[in-house]
Amino acid sequence: MVQDKALRKYTLITVTLASFMTPFMGSAVNLAIPAIGEQFNSSTYMLSWVVSSYLLSSAALLLPFGRLADILGRKKIFVLGILVFTLSSLLCNLSWSIQALVFFRLLQGAGGAALFSTGMAILTSVFPPQERGKVLGINAATVYTGLSLGPVLGGAMNQHFGWQSIFYLNVLIGLPVMLLAVWKLKAEWADARGERFDLTGATLYSAGLGSLMYGFSSMGTSASAKVFTAAGLILLALFVRRQAMVRQPMLNIKLLSGNTAFAFSNLAALINYSATFAVGFLLSLYLQVIMGYNSQTAGLILLSQPVLMALLSPFAGVLSDRVEPRIVASWGMGLTTIGLALFSFIGKDTQTWFVVANLALLGTGFALFSSPNNNAIMGSVEKQFYGIASSTLGTMRLTGQAASMALATLIIDLHIGGVQLNAADPGLLIKSLNISFVIFAVACFGGIFASLARGNMITPRAQKSPAD
């Protein structure tokens, strides 16, 4: 157990700053998409890949980076992630075409994958079990702070200084974070040092997940989408088969097949992100297209959800150190289900206070779910699997986000077709939003049972020895 309080302090500062960068970038870039399209005279399809390319490379590389971190050292991969993320942010500013920007966003996603796969694993390695929920809650609060500031600060920076300023801000944050990581983090935390890295398995996994996500997200626009989807499923099946055969797999299948808490906690995370990620996108359309608010006002209304997440996540993390994590997380999933179900009734006459109050309910539910669920996942594996556990959770998050957006986009396309949003029939748009929220609420309701099915776990507080 690490006893150096200074190391713990600098580790928490370093990881939380890195955890701020990635969600801030994701939420801020959405506000800059119109300006980017105007500068490069780009099609809507290519603009969508400014967002999707980052998500795609992050998800495809999370698990390989997590395994490399366990073998080579989490600090090495963490520092590499900051370096790539910061450098690619700088390169995004220098993009000479939309294609170049998409490529640099792919690189940025790779850096984000290295950060996602190591951040929580490093915190879990440094802090004792009885403090784990607390620090993971602080880290989650930082993530939600980035999500909260993204629309407001990103929109203002884009308006006054241009879209490049958003990427420059990440450079300014990334440089000191990298220096802190190099100088202050003294250990490597390579609990699987000496084991072999399964390059074939990593290739099958990355190619399979990348093909599957590309195919699924392009189902409505590309004739070859079905081919990519099928190829992705085949490659992932081959990956699972290989992992069951090799002596030192990239993903220990026993973590899923023989660890109920780990398997169902990750399933709960996948369901939760699949049901909630598109909420901001759908409500942004509702507030601007149906209700007629400008983007700045809409962004302020949407703030109520991430602000509640940021405020309550540390409390939820501490609570999961004292109460069975599955109970706290399941209550959070239940509140989220209620919020999604209520949003299925929104229409032209819905009052703004209702939207704000229901977003606050969703924020409360997600805060109660996220930190305890993360605590349950990291507490259900041995320390040599912390990197894999962290990256598996990250993969569930990103895959769920992609599925959420793909489903929402598909439903809207089925109702209003390819017309511009300004020319869309408001009634049909509202109907598509209502259907989306119904589907998300049903999925989240099923997630309650996935959360409960993980079974009773020994809480971190119960593991505390008398000597502590």
Q: Both 151 and 267 in a single domain?
A: no
The CATH number linked to 171 is: 1.20.1250.20
Q: Both 40 and 108 in a single domain?
A: yes
List pLDDT tens digits, range 242-280: 888 887 777 777 777 777 888 888 888 899 988 888 787
Question: Does 295 or 206 have the greater pLDDT score?
Answer: 206
Task: For residue 209, give its domain range.
Answer: 198-249
Q: Both 210 and 180 in a single domain?
A: no
CA–CA distances in Å: residue 463 to residues 10, 48, 255, 280, 359: 25, 47, 21, 39, 36
- Grade residue 463 by pLDDT with cuts at 50, 70 and 90: very low
In the prediction, which pLDDT does 215 show?
79
- Mean confidence (pLDDT) of the chain: 79
Residue 292 phi/psi, 5-degree rounding, is: 80, 15
| Per-residue 3-state assignment (H helix, E strand, C coil) for 24-68 | HHHHHHHHHHHHHHHHHCCCHHHHHHHHHHHHHHHHHHHHHHHHH
List pLDDT tens digits, range 323-347: 777 788 888 999 999 999 999 999 8
Total of domains in the chain: 3
Q: How many beta carbons lie within 10 A of that of residue 224, not counting itself?
A: 11
List pLDDT tens digits, range 55-113: 778 878 888 888 888 788 788 888 898 899 999 999 998 888 888 998 999 999 899 88
> Considering the domain boundaries, does residue 468 fall inside one?
no
Question: Does 399 or 232 have the greater pLDDT score?
Answer: 232
Q: Both 326 and 452 in a single domain?
A: yes
Residue 222 phi/psi, 5-degree rounding, is: -120, 135
Q: Both 411 and 395 in a single domain?
A: yes
